[in-house]
Amino acid sequence: MAVIHQTTMMPTKLELLTGWLPRQSWYAGGREAPELIKAGGFRLDDPDGEVGIEFMVVADAGPQPPVAYLVPLAYRAAALEGAPDDALIGTSEHGVLGRRWIYDGVHDPVVMAQVRALLRGEATPQQQNASNAPDPTVAVHGSGPAEGLDVRVNRMLRSGEDIEPSSVRLVAGWTWPDGTAARGVLMAVAHG
């Protein structure tokens, strides 16, 4: 189980994402830097204990209405060989673990293997800010094969679980900047 250290990161995750997010093709904001707040998320454990895996939901409070984004994060002790140039979100100095290379998790094979394990019911989502604490609010719905299939990560989130019942989907919650709770589909695989 992953240990969550109560320490600092310089720069912070939100600072790194503020610079990285506007460069992504799926970013919905304009030319101004986003006003990001941490809105939710969860973690998965790497069975080998080498890669930190976090699924962070951030809300951009600048546009009206606000926009919520899902960013899978991979924390590594060294650069990920073979990763595309745009996969690196940045590096940060962790108060306990030292320098961390932070990647967009969709490009990290360990992250995506654990996503598939979660969708197969073989991994347990963990609370974002507590060590060794399962998160029962993160749920997998639907049935069907989740191995070797294409996983769609919903980068821009919307409230509601209205996706065809024939798909396996991961549903979780987040909080809008005004404090309103929301739930929606974070990831899905289609089968059949």
Total number of domains in the chain: 1
Two tokens, residue 175? 């909080």
Asked if residue 37 belongs to a domain, the reply is yes
Asked if residue 4 belongs to a domain, the reply is no
| CA dihedral sign, ordered 121, 38, 108, 45 | negative
Q: How many CA atoms lie within 13 A of 26 on its CB side?
A: 10
- Position with higher pLDDT, 148 vs 113: 113
Confidence tier at 95 by pLDDT (50, 70, 90): low
Question: In this model, does residue 141 exceed pLDDT 80?
Answer: yes
Q: Is residue 132 part of a domain?
A: yes
The Cα-based distances of 38 to 18, 28, 145, 146, 175 in angstroms read 12, 17, 32, 29, 9
**Is 113 within the bounds of a domain?**
yes
Residue 171 in contact with residue 184, Cβ under 8 Å? yes
**50-74 residues labelled b (16+ CB within 10 A) or e (exposed):** ebbbbbbbbbbbeeeebbbbbbbbb
pLDDT at 10 exceeding the cut of 90:
no
Question: Higher confidence at residue 12 or residue 167?
Answer: 12
Task: Confirm whether 2 is domain-assigned.
Answer: no
Quick check: is 27 in a domain? yes
Asked if the structure places residue 24 within a domain, the reply is yes
Task: Residue 168: give the domain boundaries.
Answer: 9-189
DSSP count for the chain of H helices, then E strands? 2, 12
